[in-house]
Amino acid sequence: MAIQEKTFAQQAVDDSNETIYTATDTDILKTLIVTNNHTADVTVTIWVVPNSGSASDENVIIFERNVPIGDFFQLITYIPMETTGDSVVAVCSVADKATIYLGGASIT
């Protein structure tokens, strides 16, 4: 068994549900950073979705979190994504005006 720390994703978030990352191994989501790069406040919702599932109230981890102009928030966590195909889905109130960074570790 090997543990590899890595960046899972770093990208702008769309204004419709968008898969940001899909697990390919047993992955552990450890750090999530959302940055507002807009000229107004934005809201962001993020889900950790089981393989073959969809974003819903049962798997939301951040719901309509306000991110002020030029600000960010960070979540330090430990969320196992134990099945290949588990995913992180996100949506922003304004397309491409929030950037999300996901970091963690893969166990192979």
In a domain, 58, yes or no: yes
Beta bridge partners of 65: 44
* Cα–chain center distance at 107: 19
Report how far residue 36's alpha carbon sits from residue 30's, in angstroms, rounded to the nearest whole number.
20
In a domain, 40, yes or no: yes
In a domain, 1, yes or no: no
Query: What total of structural domains would you count in the chain?
Result: 1
Query: Cα dihedral sign for 85, 57, 103, 98?
Result: positive
If you search the block for the tokens 């889905």, which residue do you land on? 89
In a domain, 82, yes or no: yes
Question: What range defines the domain where residue 84 resides?
Answer: 27-97
pTM tops 0.85, yes or no: yes
In a domain, 32, yes or no: yes
Rg (CA), the chain: 13
In a domain, 41, yes or no: yes
In a domain, 103, yes or no: no
CB 15 within 8 A of CB 67: no
pLDDT digits (tens, 9 = 90+) for 6-17: 999 999 999 999
pLDDT digits (tens, 9 = 90+) for 31-61: 999 999 999 999 999 999 999 999 999 999 9
Element (H or E) spanning 100, and its range?
strand 98-107
CB 75 within 8 A of CB 38: no
